[in-house]
A = this chain, B = another copy of it.
């Protein structure tokens, strides 16, 4: 069974996913990546989204670092990094959200995530090239991002008396992600200390008695009885869980691993659509209407998180139940999302599992979730051979 799964994931990643992006997403003129790609890879917009540029650089560099050094992946990553470093930043060091093909800025968000994905690009490229310059840039950016996160008014977002000021689950998660990469490159006790702070924040989102993970909690960790406070995203909770399992494995924190395993089990149970399959995108934890139009759609990335997260849960626990859940996710993903005719996965299905969009990439979907889930799954399965 392990052999079959490994073979399937290798074929999918190396024959159907990576080649799609190598063939269609490279801008040979200005550098960087097109991500607005239709089913067959044709480009329907040449605009460049910095979340996805940074993520693609990270992914290609990771493939270079951990899979093969002779496939040209480093050059692709370098081209993306050069594009971001040349055009992607403001005078204050912030990173735009989107640029035209030739690098003119279109939009800047009042959020830290463009910076986060640029930082991950820098760290993986520092690892690939040994460049101290990239590591220096990453370190400087890390402490800037930390400062912006603590003082969101510096991002230009007005701080209003009734505005949300609690914790968003994505924030401790991206800090844990950045720290994992930085710690690998340079030891610094401040990273470990901050990881513990972020772990504490992340754990507050986990509501054990209610068996769920809240996306947004109050400043003292309290439940907020509004649509924002009641929001849950089962795929995001599973992603959190596998972040925490990896942290638990690195730090020898068995209790953390145990809590994360529970999160995976609850989130799969609550998020799986028993009628049509797939994971709901958003739910209101008390059953009120979702304020998100797409709440019942099935998106590629929660399925990717579940595909790897459940495999990891089985790997660290030995509990075959996780493998059963993983089989459900796997069958759904490979029958609904995977597109062997043209490569890559569809991004958006309706509740019934029919594609609503032919696109393989867009403003939010690029060379990241599918190859990351497949690569991490392959690396895990290889340990079982």
Q: Which of A161, A356, A363 has the most chain B CB within a 10 Å cutoff?
A: A356
Instruction: Count A interface residues, CB 8 Å.
Output: 42
Whether the pair B104, A363 counts as a contact (CB closer than 8 A) is no
* Residue interface mask A281-301, B partner, CB < 8 A = 1: 000100011110111110000
Whether the pair A44, B296 counts as a contact (CB closer than 8 A) is no
Which of A105-113, A170-178, A195-203 touches B?
A105-113
Contact A45 B227, CB 8 Å, known A99-B162, A293-B293, A351-B350: yes
Q: State which of B105, B164, B296, B363 has its C-beta within 8 Å of the C-beta of A291.
A: B363
- Asked whether any CB of chain B lies closer than 8 Å to the CB of A357, the reply is yes
Whether the pair B100, A296 counts as a contact (CB closer than 8 A) is no
Whether the pair A161, B105 counts as a contact (CB closer than 8 A) is yes
CA A23 to CA B291, docked complex, whole Å: 22
- Asked whether any CB of chain B lies closer than 8 Å to the CB of A91, the reply is no
Q: State which of B98, B106, B160, B288 has its C-beta within 8 Å of the C-beta of A106.
A: B160
- Asked whether any CB of chain B lies closer than 8 Å to the CB of A38, the reply is yes
Q: State which of B36, B294, B296 has its C-beta within 8 Å of the C-beta of A227.
A: B36
Whether the pair A357, B36 counts as a contact (CB closer than 8 A) is no
- Asked whether any CB of chain B lies closer than 8 Å to the CB of A362, the reply is yes
CA A163 to CA B96, docked complex, whole Å: 11
Whether the pair A348, B293 counts as a contact (CB closer than 8 A) is yes
Whether the pair A44, B227 counts as a contact (CB closer than 8 A) is yes
Interface of chain A, main secondary structure:
loop
Whether the pair A160, B108 counts as a contact (CB closer than 8 A) is yes
Chain B contacts of A363 at CB under 8 A? 291
Whether the pair A294, B291 counts as a contact (CB closer than 8 A) is no
Chain B contacts of A289 at CB under 8 A? 38, 44, 357-359, 362
Whether the pair A293, B290 counts as a contact (CB closer than 8 A) is no
Chain B contacts of A104 at CB under 8 A? 160-162
Q: State which of B100, B163, B226 has its C-beta within 8 Å of the C-beta of A105.
A: B163
Which B residue's beta carbon lies closest to that of A98?
A: B162
Chain B contacts of A350 at CB under 8 A? 296, 350-351
CA A99 to CA B96, docked complex, whole Å: 29
CA A227 to CA B37, docked complex, whole Å: 12
Chain B contacts of A160 at CB under 8 A? 96, 104-108
What's the nearest-Cβ distance from chain B to residue A354, in Å? Answer: 9
CA A288 to CA B362, docked complex, whole Å: 11
Which B residue's beta carbon lies closest to that of A39?
A: B289
Which A residues, 238 to 287, have Cβ-Cβ distances below 8 Å to chain B? 284
Contact A288 B227, CB 8 Å, known A108-B160, A163-B107: no
Which B residue's beta carbon lies closest to that of A47?
A: B226
What's the nearest-Cβ distance from chain B to residue A301, in Å? Answer: 13
Chain B contacts of A362 at CB under 8 A? 289, 291
- Asked whether any CB of chain B lies closer than 8 Å to the CB of A158, the reply is yes
In the A-B complex, the 5 residue pairs with the closest CB atoms: A104-B162, A289-B359, A44-B288, A100-B162, A106-B162
In the complex, besides A156-B156, A296-B356, 19 extra interface pairs with C-beta distance below 8 angstroms are A36-B227, A44-B284, A44-B288, A45-B226, A45-B291, A98-B162, A99-B162, A100-B162, A104-B160, A104-B161, A104-B162, A105-B160, A106-B163, A106-B164, A107-B160, A293-B293, A293-B357, A294-B294, A351-B356
The 27 sampled A-B contact pairs (Cβ below 8 Å) are: A36-B227, A38-B288, A38-B289, A44-B227, A44-B284, A44-B289, A47-B226, A98-B162, A104-B161, A105-B162, A106-B160, A106-B163, A106-B164, A107-B160, A107-B163, A108-B158, A108-B160, A289-B357, A289-B362, A291-B362, A291-B363, A293-B293, A294-B294, A295-B357, A296-B350, A296-B356, A351-B356
